[in-house]
Amino acid sequence: MTDASTGVPATGGVHCETTTLGALLGHAGVHLAEPVLFGLGSGLSFVYWDSKRQPVPFLGGRVKPFELTRTLARRLGLDLRVQETSSARRAWDQVRTLVDDGVPVGLQLDSHDLDYFGSRVHFAGHVVALLGYDEESAYLLDTAQQGGRVSTSLESLARARAARGPMSAPHRSFTLGPLREPVDPAPAIVPAIVECAEAFLHPPIANIGHRGIRTTAKHAPSWLERVEDPPRDLPQMAMLMERAGTGGALFRTLYRDFLTACLPLLDDGDGPGGRVAAVERGRDLFAESATLWTRVAGLVERAGLEEDPAALTEAAGLLVRIADLETAAMTTLRSL
């Protein structure tokens, strides 16, 4: 077997893109905690999306796929090298050459086609690290929930990479090139937090950021009528919010942990009551928000299983409270 796993963590994280970034950085000798990768990539967001072509409304808690990777690379001065092609043969040759040279490669693909994947739902924004291959199989690092170090047939990998549709990319692969200088995350903390807060507080449309959460609150009471099969569809929505690679609470737990990890690294130039106090307040507000997101997911699940409209009404009220909390948190963090 060809092996490019030197320095790569033995286990996966909670989210696919940060798991892959951790693998590529680990190979380069840089070891940053997963919440730090998520936060430095300004990964937190919110989007509510619904259309007649969707079986259920979509609630997302992060920026669109690969934006986190591009932002992290820019902020840390990493050499991000991205390849895309419409040719399946060329796509495989590109990544095979890198792995043959001992370099792990990030892949964006559709998780539906991976042999080991637990959920047979199309999601073309999934990201894994390719660590090796042999004549029959590819060896990957995925999230801990999906098994961490896993394998899939070369045929299934080719199908997954060739997928088309929402969030797909044409056989996208990427690496983080040799480091030009040591990586110091400390100077990137404040710009990452402020950029994330600005985007959340000033979304371009009403279904993104804090406005998107309020939009969701308006629509939530109608979800029993909106979906085809509430006992099937609403628990599926709840699962995606809480357990589908989000780290719990629609990524809010990850962001809370990022803010906690930042505290010892902050230069509190404004003295007592400055940056450290602001980040602590933001952290505490997101901790409360995370608890409420988990409650919302539970209420959505209950509404579906019991076909109980009161549960959705309660969830809508919590969503308004979440919007208030996260607006307050991001307003505080924007002031850093």
In order of start, what are the domains of the chain with their CATH numbers? Answer: 2-31+80-176 (3.90.70), 186-334 (no CATH)
Whole-number average pLDDT of the chain: 94
* Alpha-carbon gap, residue 296 to 292, rounded angstroms: 6
| pLDDT of 272 above 80 | no
Question: Which residue would you say has higher pLDDT here, 70 or 267?
Answer: 70
Average pLDDT over residues 118-143: 93
Six token digits for residue 285: 């507000």
**Residue type, position 141, single letter:** L
pLDDT at residue 267, rounded to an integer: 78
pLDDT band of residue 269 (cuts 50, 70, 90) is low
Mean local confidence (pLDDT), 194-204? 98
pLDDT on residue 219: 98
What is the predicted pLDDT for the residue at 271?
Answer: 55
Assess whether pLDDT exceeds 70 at residue 21. yes
Q: What is the dihedral of CA 213, 245, 315, 211, to 10 degrees?
A: 0
**pLDDT at site 52:** 86
pLDDT of residue 43: 97
- C-beta neighbour count of 28 within 10 angstroms: 18
Q: How large is the average pLDDT for residues 73-83?
A: 95
SS3 state of residue 127: strand
What integer pLDDT is reported at residue 180 of this predicted model? 79
Could you tell me the pTM of the whole model?
0.95
